[in-house]
Chain A
Amino acid sequence: MADSVKALPEDIQAIIDIREWDMRTREGVNRFRELRAKSLPSVALDGELIYESLIPPQEELIAEIERRFNTRPTEGGED
């Protein structure tokens, strides 16, 4: 799963921070439970669990990242 995320195009990589959690560690397990995930592999975006048990097609993942990036409030707030 991490490999498919790391293989995202450079322009997408530029707008995201990737964090991989190791389920062999207590830290990884704790994060897994915080996200209320159930199975592996799992992908969360902005702390929200989006994909479970599947590796999404790259186009779908890119579209979801762009959608979130484009709909997030700009810095400093906007009325």
Chain B
Amino acid sequence: MTNGNEPQKYIYRTQGVCPPEIHFQIEGEVLREVRFMGGGCPGNAQLVSRLLHHMPLKALPGLLGGISCKNKTSCPDQLFQALKKVEEGELLPARSFQIVADPQKRKRIALVGALDGRVGSLRALASRLKEEKIEMAYCLGNITGGSLADKALLQGLRKEKHFLAIQGDKDWALARQIISSASSVPLEPKEKDYFDSLGQVFTFQLGGSLGMGFYGRYLQDLPGYSDYEPFALEMNLISNLTQFMQDETVFPALLAMIPQFKAQVIAFSQVRKWGYWQVGGVEVISLGPALEEGKISCGILEERGGQLRFQIKEWPFTLEDESEP
């Protein structure tokens, strides 16, 4: 049913049953990782998921089809409908966003906002962050600026082993153009592969805290985005409920939802303005651009004695910094 053995993830929007979505994977001719999301009987759903894990697809119609629970359908029947749609080519694999996880536990990290295609800012920051003994810098996008200078920026970023970048909205659009060769930015195959491999969300471990970063709201428009994916709750509430923390009147509602968050640190860069909030045990950080008004800046987050400390660091940036090779 799928090409090759790479598992393909699917999201099916149900009709007439309690869970609004069913998530599952197909690997070759086998069903995997069935999850009934957002409602229903959690215990039964978990049992069904376990029973169906690694089940051959051809064995499923007899098991799932025709079971009625409410509205002449049921969760198994909806899964059966979803698998039929996959077979008929009506339900395509969900792409959504890719999460890049930094596997190392960190003590001192940097958060970098929009680089906007300026390789000079990247070089200057890399030099400053080395002095600051930063273990890893996370760039939240946009890393590119939509000009020919993006080639130099991507080459520079690829060489920086202590920088982990994700795509902002312009990066994502440019990456799609470059892959389809519709872009005027002339990239070598290795640069294209690097750019395309950048995720849209990153996670990190800082001391005992789990952190996540994303650019902004464009992720919600990606094909296959689901409210039930990991970290979608954090992104939905920060982006849509609080309007990127700009609407403090809804903080009581945010506070009520925070116990369901996975992340204890959340960073975003869409607003292009520095901001820092501590709400219900979660640290929320809005990143300003890397270069603004003759200064380069980043946020430094460190864990010391079990506590997280955040500060914004700024350094002067001159035209010589911009042109220095």
Q: How far is the CA of A59 from the CA of B243 in the complex (A)?
A: 37
- Asked whether B227 lies within 8 Å of A25 as measured between CB atoms, the reply is yes
Number of interface residues of B (CB under 8 A): 18
Could you say which of A23, A24, A25, A26 contacts B253, with CB atoms under 8 Å apart? A23
Q: What's the minimum C-beta distance from A25 to chain B, rounded to whole angstroms? A: 4
Q: Which A residues are CB-close (under 8 A) to B233?
A: 24
- Interface digits, B237-269 against A, CB 8 Å rule (1 contact, 0 not)? 100110000000110110011001000000000
Counted as pairs of residues, one from A and one from B, with CB atoms less than 8 Å apart, the total is 47
Q: Complex: how many Å from CA A41 to CA B260?
A: 15
* Binding-face segment, A7-15, A30-38, A65-73: A30-38
Looking across the interface, which residue of chain A has its beta carbon closest to that of B226? A25
Q: How far is the CA of A12 from the CA of B242 in the complex (A)?
A: 35
Q: Are A25 and B256 in contact, CB atoms less than 8 angstroms apart?
A: no
Q: For chain A, which range describes its interface: under 10, 10 to 19, 20 to 34, or 35 or more residues?
A: 10 to 19
Closest to B256 in A: A40
Q: Of A22, A30, A37, A40, which contacts B240 at CB under 8 A?
A: A30
Task: Point out the residue from B20, B39, B253 that lies within 8 Å of A39, measured CB to CB.
Answer: B253
The answer to whether B241 and A32 have CB atoms under 8 Å apart is yes
- Could you jot down 14 A-B contacts, CB within 8 Å? A23-B253, A24-B233, A25-B38, A25-B236, A26-B227, A26-B240, A29-B237, A30-B240, A32-B250, A33-B240, A38-B249, A38-B250, A38-B253, A39-B250
A-contacting residues of B (Cβ < 8 Å)? 20, 38-39, 220, 227-228, 233, 236-237, 240-241, 249-250, 252-253, 256-257, 260
Which 8 A-B pairs rank lowest in CB-CB distance, beginning with the nearest? A39-B252, A40-B256, A25-B227, A29-B240, A29-B241, A40-B253, A39-B253, A38-B249
